[in-house]
Amino acid sequence: MLKAALNGNRSPDEHPNIPVTPGQLAQAARAAVEAGADALHFHPRNAAGAESLDADDVARALEAVRAACPSVPVGLSSGWWIVPDAGARLAAVRAWTALPDFVSVNWHEDGAPELASTLLERGIGVEAGLWTADALRAFLAWPRRDEVLRVLIEMPDQPIRTYKAELKEMFGLLEASGLDKPVVLHGLGESAWPLLREAARRGLDARIGLEDTLLLPGDFDGAADNAELVRVAREMMG
């Protein structure tokens, strides 16, 4: 599986083709799917362009993207920076009237198990976002770990030498756990393309998009849009 991460917390000031409005998200989603994306991930925005978990903002974005890509799984972020208070984040999710297919939950953030349980109880798939070996250990100790949709092994915007040992430890922990769930491997910035290549080598799922990188491999002029990133990633994954 190749998932397209359409916008993240980036603004159009960083790249002119960062989709923000529901219409822009729908257009970017359709182009990414046509380029080879199997699933979609994005961050809804409010009228001012800020990331939002508000029920109306979520509904407008989901409805637009699903109209453009009716058969494609669609997921959202629950990053702490969108709604920093864990209780308010839970309340926002409980108020949703339109439900995504899945939501990523970063296990190093406060309230992650409670948020994941709330999502599961609403019938929403959970992607466990695991950025460190310690976060992975905490996730593996969670009694409901076998109910998640998949796990995301994620690495920050750093050169490979700084995360290679951590990545090796995380794969070792997963293997020893016996957890039978799909694994998505992805990075940000400098780690985006190396980790996509590693996902291809290991036969794992992967993620790419303007949220993760603005650049093509070895191209300092940058990618035109999400669709171009997806096309290159799909070729790399074979």
What is the predicted pLDDT for the residue at 44? 98
3-state DSSP call for residue 118? Answer: helix
What is the predicted pLDDT for the residue at 161? 87
User: Own/partner pairs for 123-130, CB < 8 Å, 24+ apart?
Assistant: 123/99, 124/99, 124/100, 125/75, 125/101, 125/149, 126/102, 127/75, 127/102, 127/103, 127/151, 127/152, 127/184, 128/152, 129/104, 129/105, 129/154, 130/154, 130/170
The answer to whether residues 12 and 28 touch, using CB atoms and an 8 Å cutoff, is no
What letter does residue 158 receive in the DSSP assignment? S
Query: Lowest-confidence range among 5-9, 90-94, 214-218?
Result: 214-218
Tell how strand 205-208 and strand 183-187 pair up.
parallel
What is the predicted pLDDT for the residue at 27? 98
Q: What mean pLDDT value characterizes the chain?
A: 96
Residue 60 in this model has a pLDDT that exceeds 90? yes
Query: Lowest-confidence range among 145-154, 169-178, 217-226?
Result: 217-226
**Average pLDDT for residues 52-71, to the nearest whole number?**
98
Query: Lowest-confidence range among 33-47, 50-64, 209-223?
Result: 209-223
Find where tokens 């949709």 sit: 149
**CATH numbers and ranges of domains, the chain:** 2-237 (3.20.20.70)
- Report pLDDT digits (tens) over 97-138: 999 999 999 999 999 999 999 999 999 999 999 999 999 999
| CA gap 119, 173 in Å, rounded | 25
**Average pLDDT for residues 194-211, to the nearest whole number?**
96
| CA gap 186, 148 in Å, rounded | 18
What is the predicted pLDDT for the residue at 238? 85
Residue 139 in this model has a pLDDT that exceeds 80? yes
Listed in sequence order, the residues at least 6 apart from 211 whose beta carbon sits closer than 8 Å to its beta carbon are: 5, 6, 7, 8, 9, 10, 41, 42, 43, 188
What is the predicted pLDDT for the residue at 221? 74
Residue 218 in this model has a pLDDT that exceeds 90? no
The answer to whether residues 96 and 58 touch, using CB atoms and an 8 Å cutoff, is yes
Residue 71 in this model has a pLDDT that exceeds 90? yes
- Report pLDDT digits (tens) over 84-108: 999 999 999 999 999 999 999 999 9
